Amino acid sequence: MIIDAHNHVLAAGLYPGYERFIKEMTMGYFQSHGSLPEDRDPGDEDWKGLEYLWEPIDPDTLIRDHAGVGVDKCTILAVAPSEYTRYESRGTVDIAGVTGVEGPPSIDKGNDYIAALVAKYPETFIGMSAVNPKFRGVKAAVAELERAITKLQLTGLKLYPMYDHWAPNDRDLAFPIFAKAAELDIPVMVHLSTTPVGDTVLLYGWPVLLDDVARAFPNLRLLVCHAGHPWVDECLVLISRHRNVYLDMSFLNSTLDQRETYGFLRRARQLGCPLSRVCWATDYPGFEFPETLLPKLALVNRAAGDDPLVPQADIARMLGGNYARFLGMDWSQEETLEQMRGLEEKWTGILTGRKTNPPPARPHHTC
Ligand SMILES: [Zn+2]
């Protein structure tokens, strides 16, 4: 079984804040690739043709984009609610009305939307709730987390400290949430990385801040999203210190070519971060799609040159087993190795085709 540990779905806010958020997220990328002017702020005319970026992400398209390359399961992440940044009403909302959750779109129902999608596609989706201690206070966030797990049956929690302006090691704001997660015995994913979006706190994306949490809650399963990019070394040493801390390589892997991906795995080992806590993920629909991100890791040994090969069993575990262990879910290594052998020809075709005909870049990273 191959699992993508990090996906976004639906919209991450109400208009016009959501559109503003996505424009800030993608502007620098398009400017540095020549699709938007660099010498002035792009206006409405300049954004013509790019409106797809702030359209809601359709769950059926998400499933199709994964199933086509051999991914079996996808984690879908709620976005935590907030209304005090310059992006106004932010959080997972079902603007297109595809989940069946009743009433007008509201950021208060982010966890309900994700739970409805899991109920609709139980074989494919793994649902992560999200809460924010600065939205309606710590007590309300803790209560919402309990409801999301016990009533809505979501699997775990995703947190967005830098987006929501709180430090992950804040004793008053963050620790009560981690304490509730430990009590519920659920896995917790934390966005620790940068973001091009301006009204966020860069310092709170620093993975080193999670060290305080891992020391205070040694039995809590934690996962650093995006491998802490660009603080990847800091993330790797953090993981080497704590046996219950994992990473997902989403977003980071879009910035690396295949040889650099091999180098990242070697660097992890050099710093004492076992590959048994590295999880493959895409941040769909981010800077690169599953179609190319999956073969890049699955066939990473093609870029090993004269250097030692990464064992196939390690690759299989990064594609699903490590994340399954993080979740507390069953997974078969033999079955996955067999699956990888069956997909090798297809993946090779994608990798070779890519050299002459690169897929269109559709940056849409939503954190
Ligand atoms: Zn993300």
pLDDT in tens, 333-351: 999 999 999 999 999 999 8
Distance 184 CA to ligand 1 centre (A): 24
Cα–Cα distance, 244 to 217 (Å, whole number): 10
Distance 305 CA to ligand 1 centre (A): 32
Q: Measuring CA to CA, which residue among 319, 351, 346 is closest to residue 73? A: 319
Percent of the chain predicted with pLDDT > 90: 93
Give the H/E segment covering residue 272: none
For residue 60, the model assigns a pLDDT of 97
Judged by DSSP in three states, 224 sits in strand
For residue 357, the model assigns a pLDDT of 47
Cα–Cα distance, 162 to 200 (Å, whole number): 5
CATH 3.30.70.360 corresponds to the domain 3-356: no
Q: Where are the domains of the chain?
A: 3-356
Distance 251 CA to ligand 1 centre (A): 8
**85-102 burial, b if ≥16 CB within 10 A, otherwise e?**
bebbbbbbbbeeebbebe
In the 3-class helix/strand/coil scheme, how is 61-107 assigned residue by residue? Answer: HHHHHHHCCCCCEEEEECCCCECCCCCCCEEEECCCCCCCCCCCCCH
Distance 312 CA to ligand 1 centre (A): 27
Distance 301 CA to ligand 1 centre (A): 27
Residues 6+ apart with CB under 8 A from 137: none
The secondary structure of the chain in percent helix, strand, coil, rounded to multiples of 5, reads 45, 10, 40
Query: What are the pLDDT digits (tens) for 231-261?
Result: 999 999 999 999 999 999 999 999 999 999 9
Rounded to 10 deg, the angle between the 110-120 and 138-150 helix axes is 10
Give the H/E segment covering residue 358: none
For residue 296, the model assigns a pLDDT of 97
Distance 160 CA to ligand 1 centre (A): 10
The rounded mean pLDDT for the chain is: 95
Whose tokens are 């295949």? That residue is 258
Distance 307 CA to ligand 1 centre (A): 32
Distance 366 CA to ligand 1 centre (A): 5
Pick left, alpha or beta for residue 339 (phi over 0 → left; psi -120 to 50 → alpha; otherwise beta).
Answer: alpha
Distance 78 CA to ligand 1 centre (A): 10
245-248 and 278-279: which strand pairing?
parallel
Please check whether residue 13 is in contact with residue 93, taking contact to mean a CB–CB distance below 8 angstroms: yes
- Please check the confidence at residue 356 and state whether its pLDDT lies above 60: no
The DSSP code for 263 is H
For residue 354, the model assigns a pLDDT of 66
Distance 133 CA to ligand 1 centre (A): 19
